[in-house]
Amino acid sequence: DVKVTQSSRYLVKRTGEKVFLECVQDMDHENMFWYRQDPGLGLRLIYFSYDVKMKEKGDIPEGYSVSREKKERFSLILESASTNQTSMYLCASSWQQTQYFGPGTRLLVL
């Protein structure tokens, strides 16, 4: 079974802090994704990566950056957290267009 893990289930940060969300997959998938999920808005793609060190902006990349130094790990970085980044963050990896999700990180920015 594919396993995608995320570093934290719940996270509370203060405005202006730098925040790292980590995602690890164990199936050697080339493609990995970061989404945020907000009520009524569904899942919105922040960034995705199609190979090590390769990344592409999604629909809402502003205020975020990503890092993929190893194939199994895809990190989402909030350079300076703001209250409007309070959300559920979901990581996924994919194979043949089927996506496998981690359990999510619920981030609260105060």
Partner 1 sequence: SQQGEEDPQALSIQEGENATMNCSYKTSINNLQWYRQNSGRGLVHLILIRSNEREKHSGRLRVTLDTSKKSSSLLITASRAADTASYFCATGASGNEKLTFGTGTRLTIIP
What residues make contact with partner 1 under the rule CB under 8 A?
A: 4, 31, 33, 35, 40-43, 45, 48, 50, 58-59, 88, 90, 92, 94, 97-104, 106
Minimal distance, residue 13 CB to partner 1, in Å: 19
**Residue number with CB closer to partner 1 (48 or 74):** 48
**Residue number with CB closer to partner 1 (48 or 85):** 48
- Whether residue 11 contacts residue 105, with contact meaning beta carbons closer than 8 Å, is answered with yes
Minimal distance, residue 43 CB to partner 1, in Å: 4
Question: CA 45 from chain center: how many Å?
Answer: 9
As given in the structure block, the two tokens for residue 105 are 């990180």
DSSP 19-42: EEEEEEESS--SEEEEEEEETTTE
